[in-house]
Amino acid sequence: MRQALGARDPESRLRLAAPIARQIHDAQSATFDLLRGAGVVAPELAKLEQQRECLRYERQERMIISLRDAGALRPELDYTTARDIFWMLTGRDVYRMLVRERGWSSQKYRIGWPTPLCKVFLLEDE
């Protein structure tokens, strides 16, 4: 994460976020799927899942601040909207849908994910 935040240009920051998301999802996918399913019958597990997502949202704030401060965010994206979209797109559900349901390899997720992410957030070069 330090490498992504330390990258000089905003596109590199977003492109470096993809391997981070992939590593986390690859390593924790089965555990969190179990936790999520168990949360339906055990409210304390659902609360743990909610706390984990809040923590992930908080940790991602620095990325959006760095894009905003660099003047790289699209003008139609306010800070909160950009933060919410980044949280959603880097979430386990997107990974699960692409890798587990659509059959993408985790490598394809890492390679195929950054370009659309950059298009969502960054100003186009004129």
The confidence score (pLDDT) of residue 126 equals 39
Convert the pLDDT of each residue in 94-108 to its tens digit: 888 888 899 999 888
Segment 3-60, tens digit of pLDDT: 666 777 878 887 777 777 777 767 766 666 666 665 566 777 778 878 888 998 998 8
Residue 81, pLDDT score = 95
pLDDT given for residue 43 in this prediction: 76
> What pTM was computed for the model?
0.73
The predicted pLDDT at position 102 comes to 93
Segment 64-71 mean pLDDT: 91
Mean pLDDT of 56-83: 91
Q: DSSP per residue over the chain, as a string?
A: -HHHHH-SSHHHHHHHHHHHHHHHHHHHHHHHHHHHHHTTT-HHHHHHHHHHHHHHHHHTHHHHHHHHHTT-B-TT--HHHHHHHHHHHTSHHHHIIIIIIS---HHHHHHHSHHHHHHHHBPPP-
Q: Is the pLDDT of residue 82 over 90?
A: yes
